[in-house]
Chains A and B, each alone.
Chain A
Amino acid sequence: MITLNELAVGQTGVIRDVRGDDGISARLLEMGLTEDEPITLLGAAPLGDPLEFSLRGYRLSLRRSEAERVDVELTE
C-alpha cells in the first residue's frame, strides 16, 4: 500500500482511505476520492507539483501534500 503521491505516471491505484479530518480531507472526499474507487496519475506540473489525476471520468489536480493523505493499493 502506498500513498497517492507515490504513484508512477500512468499507474492506477484503488483508494483505500483518506486520512485527516480537516477541510482538505473533506474536500478530497467531496470530489469523489472514496474507498474502492480507482484513480490514475496522468502527470505532474513542470516544477514537480501539483499532480494531475483522472478519476470518475474527470481530471483533478492535487498538491503532493494533499495526495499524500490518500492511501492507495496498486491493482497490478
Chain B
Amino acid sequence: MAVAAPPRSLTIAVIGNPNTGKSTLFSALTGVHTRIGNYPGVTVEKKVGCIDHEGTVLNLVDLPGTYSLSPRSLDEMVSVDVLLGRQLDVGKIDAVLCIVDASNLERNLYVTSQVLDVGLPTVLVLNMWDVAEERGIKIDVATLSQRLGIPVLTCEAHKRTNIAAIKSALVDAAHQPQRNSLRLFPEEFYREVDLLRTQTTVDKNVLPQFLLERLLLDAGGYVEEWQTKQRSAELPAQLAAARDRLKAAGCKIPAVEAKVRYAWARQLLTGVVQQPVQRPVTKSDKLDKFFTHKFWGLVVFCLVMLAMFLSIYIGADPLMSMLETGQNAIGDAVGSWIPDGPFRSLVVDGVIAGIGGVVVFVPQIALLFLFIAILEDCGYLARAAFLMDKLMVKVGLSGKSFVPLMSSFACAIPGIMATRVIENRRDRFVTILVAPLMSCSARLPVYALLIGAFIPGIWYGALQGLTLFLMTFLGAVVAIPVAWILKKTFFKGETPPFVMELPSYKWPSPRIVLSRVYDRVKSFIVRAGTLIFATNVLVWALAYYPGDHAEEERLQAEVEVRQEQLAAIRLQNQAANNETRGATPPEVAAVEAAQDAANRESQRLLEVSYLGRAGKAMEPVFLPLGWDWRIGVGVLASFPAREVIVSTLGTIYSLGSDVDEENEGLRSALRSATWPDGRPIYTIPVALSVMVFFALCAQCASTLMIIRRETAHWGWAAFTFVYMTVLAYVGAWLTYNIGTWWF
C-alpha cells in the first residue's frame, strides 16, 4: 500500500470473570491514559482507556467483571448493551478482548461462550499463566486457538508479558469479519427463538439474536422485564408457553444453558488441557486452611480489622495534625499580607479553612483505601465476607457489606466507596444508606468533650469509657432496624445470591493498589472537595455577616501588640537576669484582659450574625431537646462537618475558636452555662442528648456527596440527610426526656 491510511480508531470491549487480573491487564495495556466516568442513569463505572499501537488508536472499554452475560438488572444490562453496540456513548464494538484465568479455564469459558455467541471478533487471553504452571496445568494453546477459531494468547499481566502481542492481535482481530454464533443449543431452542422473533417484531424493529435468546433463557430477567414494558404485556405468557414446550422436549430452561455451555467447554479442553488428577495443595490452599478455620480464621480476621483501625489512629492522626498546623500557618501567613476586613476573614476563615476542611480528610481516606485495596487485591476480602456472612444475614445484609461498614467506623467515605464490591444493587444501596450511622472518627471530639465535662470519672473512668462505647455503637445498633425497614420498603425484591467464588490468594500488586488509591482520593478531592469547600464558605458567611467586625479586628490587633510586648519583656528579663522568669503579672494580666475583650466581641458578633439569629429563632425547635440557642448554633454550624462544633462552642462561650475538646476552659464554660433563670443548661440528659444527636445525624457534606456519586442520583443523598436528621432529633428528644425523668 503506497498511500498511508489515516490512523483508524477502534473500540475494544474488555470482558472476563472477576478475579482474573482484568484490571491489571487493562492498566498494563492502557497505562495512564484512562478516563473513569459513569454510564448515564446507572451506577456502573465507565472505564475507558486509550492506546496508540503502530498508528492505530485503540479505545478499550473495561466492562465490569462478570460470570455470565445474563442480565438481571439495568446495571448488568449495560455490559450487554455495550457488546451489542447499543450503548450510545460507546458506539459500535470492533473487537472483544476476553480474559480468562488459565488455572480455572472451565468455569471461565462459560462467559466466553456467551461472548462468542454475540458474534464479534474476539481475542482470548489466558492470564495468570504463572498460577497455572504452579498448579502443574499444561495448556496446548495452538490447538485451543485452532478449535476456537480465534487468536489465543497467554499472559502474566502483573509481569506485563506479551502485552505488545495482545495489542497486535486486537488490531488484527478488528479487521476480521463478524463471526457466526456457536449454536450450542438443540434445534428446538432455535425454533422457539425464531418464533419469538416474529412475536416481538414491531414495525420492522427486530431484536438482535442475542437478546432474543436471553429473553427466552432468563426467566424473570431484565430483558424480559424490559421488553414486557416496552412491547407487549402478553410477552410473559408467550415466554412461559415457549419454555413449557422446550421443557417437554427435554430442553429445560434455564438448566439447558449451563449444560450445553459447560459441555462445550469440557469438550473444547479435552486433550488441550492436562492437569494433575489430584489437585496439588497450593500455597493458597494452605493459607485458606488457616484463614477460614473456625477459630484461627476469626482470630486472624479480628487482628486484620484491628490493624486497619490502629493504622488510622497511628498513621493518619499525625499527618492530620500536621495538616492542621500547616493550614493554620498558611492562614496566619496569608492573613498577615491582607489588610483587616471581611476579605481577610473570607480568605483565612472561609477559603483556607474550607480547603483545609477537604485536605484534612486525605490521610485518613488514603490509608483506609490502601487497606481495602490491599485486602481486595490479595483475595482476603472474599474470606472476610465468608466469615461474617451469617452475622450480616441476621441484620438483613450479606457478608460483603461487612468491610465497607467496618471501614465506616473510621470514616464513611472510603466505606461507602468500598461498597462497589457488593454486586447486588439492593444490598449495595442499603449498605450505603446505613454506613453514615457507623460512628466515624469525626464524632469523637464531641463525645470526648461532653463525656469529659459531664460524665463523672468514677470507677477509674470506667463509666466514661462505657458511655463512649455506647455512643460509638449506638449508630450501628440503630442501623439494624433502619436496614430492615429499607429492605422492606424501597428495596424489596428477592434475596440476592451469596454464591461467591473464593479466589486464590496472590501478592497484591503495588501498581494496581496504589493506582486505585490515587484514583479514589483524586475522585474524592475533585467531587466532594468542591462541595465541602462551598459549604464551609457558606457557613463562614452566615457566621460573619451582618455584624461589623471593625471593633473585633481592633481588639485582636491590640492582643497581638500586647503579646509582642510581653515577649519582648520576657526576652529582656532573660538577658538581664539570666533567669527564665516570666514577665511581671501586670503584663500577663494585660494580655489576658485584651484576649478576653477580643473573645467577648467575637461572641457578640456571632450572636448578631445570620447564623446566630437563626439559632435564636430556632430555639423553640431546640427546647424540647433541652438545648438552648447556643447549642443550636453550634449544631447548625456543624452540618457541613461535625468537628466544627468544638471550635464553634469555643467562640460561643467566648474562649476564641482555637479550643479543642481537651480544653479545660471550654469544659468549665459548659458546666457553668445557665439559662436566664439560673438553672444549668448542661445536665447529664442534655449532654447525652447532644451526643445522641451527633451519633445519628448526617453532619458531613462530603459523605452526602459521595452517596450522591455512588447512587448516581441526588435523591438518595437527600434521603439520607432527611432520615438521619429526623432520627437524630427523635433520638435526642427521647434521650433528653427519658434522661430527665430518670435522673
Quick check: is B501 within 8 A (CB to CB) of the other chain? yes
Pairwise interchain contact B259-A61, C-beta atoms closer than 8 A: no
Quick check: is B295 within 8 A (CB to CB) of the other chain? yes
Pairwise interchain contact B497-A32, C-beta atoms closer than 8 A: no
Quick check: is B391 within 8 A (CB to CB) of the other chain? yes
Using a Cβ–Cβ cut-off of 8 Å, how many residues does chain A contribute to the interface with B?
Answer: 36
Which residue of the partner chain, among A21, A22, A35, contacts B259 with CB atoms under 8 Å? A35
Pairwise interchain contact B106-A57, C-beta atoms closer than 8 A: yes
Which residue of the partner chain, among B221, B382, B497, contacts A66 with CB atoms under 8 Å? B497
Question: Could you tell me which residues of chain A, from 10 to 36, have a CB within 8 Å of some CB in chain B?
Answer: 18, 21-35
Quick check: is B262 within 8 A (CB to CB) of the other chain? yes
- With both chains docked as a complex, state the minimum distance between the C-beta of A45 and any C-beta of chain B, in angstroms: 6
Residues of chain A with a CB closer than 8 A to B399's CB? 50
Quick check: is A43 within 8 A (CB to CB) of the other chain? yes
Quick check: is A47 within 8 A (CB to CB) of the other chain? yes
Residues of chain A with a CB closer than 8 A to B219's CB? 21, 26
- With both chains docked as a complex, state the minimum distance between the C-beta of A33 and any C-beta of chain B, in angstroms: 8
CA gap between A34 and B252 in the complex, in Å: 12
CA gap between A30 and B67 in the complex, in Å: 7
Pairwise interchain contact B497-A24, C-beta atoms closer than 8 A: yes
CA gap between A35 and B255 in the complex, in Å: 9
Q: Please, what's the 1-or-0 string for B367-395, where 1 marks a CB less than 8 Å from any CB in chain A? A: 00000000000000010001101110100
> Given the interface contacts A31-B501, A66-B498, does A47 sit within 8 Å of B255 by beta carbon?
no
CA gap between A14 and B68 in the complex, in Å: 23
Pairwise interchain contact B104-A32, C-beta atoms closer than 8 A: no
Pairwise interchain contact A34-B501, C-beta atoms closer than 8 A: no
Tally the A-B contacts, defined by beta carbons under 8 Å. Answer: 123
Question: Which residue of chain B is the closest to A67 with respect to CB atoms?
Answer: B499
CA gap between A66 and B389 in the complex, in Å: 13
CA gap between A21 and B104 in the complex, in Å: 27
Pairwise interchain contact B104-A57, C-beta atoms closer than 8 A: yes
Quick check: is B500 within 8 A (CB to CB) of the other chain? yes
Quick check: is B613 within 8 A (CB to CB) of the other chain? no
Question: Could you tell me which residues of chain B, from 132 to 147, have a CB within 8 Å of some CB in chain A?
Answer: none
Using a Cβ–Cβ cut-off of 8 Å, how many residues does chain B contribute to the interface with A?
Answer: 46
CA gap between A36 and B262 in the complex, in Å: 11
Question: Which residue of chain A is the closest to B285 with respect to CB atoms?
Answer: A59
Question: Which residue of chain B is the closest to A57 with respect to CB atoms?
Answer: B104
Residues of chain B with a CB closer than 8 A to A49's CB? 389-390, 393
Quick check: is A62 within 8 A (CB to CB) of the other chain? yes
Quick check: is B624 within 8 A (CB to CB) of the other chain? no
Most buried by A among B104, B221, B390: B390
Which residue of the partner chain, among A18, A27, A45, A57, contacts B390 with CB atoms under 8 Å? A45
Residues of chain B with a CB closer than 8 A to A48's CB? 390
Pairwise interchain contact A52-B218, C-beta atoms closer than 8 A: no
- With both chains docked as a complex, state the minimum distance between the C-beta of B470 and any C-beta of chain A, in angstroms: 25
CA gap between A52 and B218 in the complex, in Å: 27
Quick check: is B581 within 8 A (CB to CB) of the other chain? no
Quick check: is B37 within 8 A (CB to CB) of the other chain? no
Which residue of the partner chain, among A34, A52, A61, contacts B255 with CB atoms under 8 Å? A34
Pairwise interchain contact B501-A47, C-beta atoms closer than 8 A: no
Pairwise interchain contact B106-A50, C-beta atoms closer than 8 A: no
Residues of chain B with a CB closer than 8 A to A32's CB? 106-107, 110, 258, 262
Which residue of the partner chain, among A29, A31, A47, contacts B254 with CB atoms under 8 Å? A29
Question: Which residue of chain B is the closest to A25 with respect to CB atoms?
Answer: B254
Residues of chain A with a CB closer than 8 A to B501's CB? 31, 58-61
Most buried by A among B218, B220, B259, B292: B292
Question: Which residue of chain B is the closest to A24 with respect to CB atoms?
Answer: B497
Quick check: is B54 within 8 A (CB to CB) of the other chain? no
CA gap between A21 and B224 in the complex, in Å: 14
Question: Which residue of chain A is the closest to B295 with respect to CB atoms?
Answer: A46
Pairwise interchain contact B257-A29, C-beta atoms closer than 8 A: yes
Which residue of the partner chain, among B68, B257, B288, B292, contacts A45 with CB atoms under 8 Å? B292
Most buried by B among A29, A31, A46, A50: A46
Question: Which residue of chain A is the closest to B273 with respect to CB atoms?
Answer: A57
Pairwise interchain contact A50-B497, C-beta atoms closer than 8 A: no
> Given the interface contacts A48-B390, A50-B498, does A30 sit within 8 Å of B70 by beta carbon?
yes
Q: Please, what's the 1-or-0 string for B248-282, where 1 marks a CB less than 8 Å from any CB in chain A? A: 00000111011100100000000000010001000
Residues of chain A with a CB closer than 8 A to B673's CB? none
Quick check: is B334 within 8 A (CB to CB) of the other chain? no
CA gap between A46 and B297 in the complex, in Å: 8
Quick check: is B195 within 8 A (CB to CB) of the other chain? no
Pairwise interchain contact A63-B498, C-beta atoms closer than 8 A: yes
Pairwise interchain contact B298-A46, C-beta atoms closer than 8 A: yes
Question: Could you tell me which residues of chain B, from 61 to 96, have a CB within 8 Å of some CB in chain A?
Answer: 67-68, 70, 72
Quick check: is B494 within 8 A (CB to CB) of the other chain? yes
Pairwise interchain contact B258-A30, C-beta atoms closer than 8 A: yes
- With both chains docked as a complex, state the minimum distance between the C-beta of B214 and any C-beta of chain A, in angstroms: 12
Which residue of the partner chain, among B104, B221, B258, B391, contacts A29 with CB atoms under 8 Å? B258
Residues of chain A with a CB closer than 8 A to B391's CB? 47
Most buried by A among B104, B496, B500: B500
Pairwise interchain contact B499-A62, C-beta atoms closer than 8 A: yes
Pairwise interchain contact A61-B502, C-beta atoms closer than 8 A: yes
Residues of chain A with a CB closer than 8 A to B191's CB? none
Residues of chain B with a CB closer than 8 A to A18's CB? 255
CA gap between A44 and B292 in the complex, in Å: 8
Which residue of the partner chain, among B68, B220, B262, B279, contacts A22 with CB atoms under 8 Å? B220
- With both chains docked as a complex, state the minimum distance between the C-beta of B378 and any C-beta of chain A, in angstroms: 15
Pairwise interchain contact B107-A56, C-beta atoms closer than 8 A: yes
Residues of chain B with a CB closer than 8 A to A21's CB? 219-220, 253-254
Residues of chain B with a CB closer than 8 A to A37's CB? 262
- With both chains docked as a complex, state the minimum distance between the C-beta of B553 and any C-beta of chain A, in angstroms: 63
Pairwise interchain contact B390-A61, C-beta atoms closer than 8 A: no
Q: Please, what's the 1-or-0 string for B322-335, where 1 marks a CB less than 8 Å from any CB in chain A? A: 00000000000000
- With both chains docked as a complex, state the minimum distance between the C-beta of A27 and any C-beta of chain B, in angstroms: 4
CA gap between A61 and B110 in the complex, in Å: 19
> Given the interface contacts A32-B110, A52-B386, A57-B279, does A27 sit within 8 Å of B499 by beta carbon?
yes
9 intermolecular pairs with C-beta atoms under 8 Å apart: A24-B499, A29-B257, A30-B67, A45-B297, A45-B386, A50-B386, A50-B389, A58-B107, A63-B389
Given contacts A22-B494, A58-B107, 6 further A-B contacts (CB under 8 A): A32-B262, A45-B292, A50-B390, A56-B107, A57-B103, A66-B497
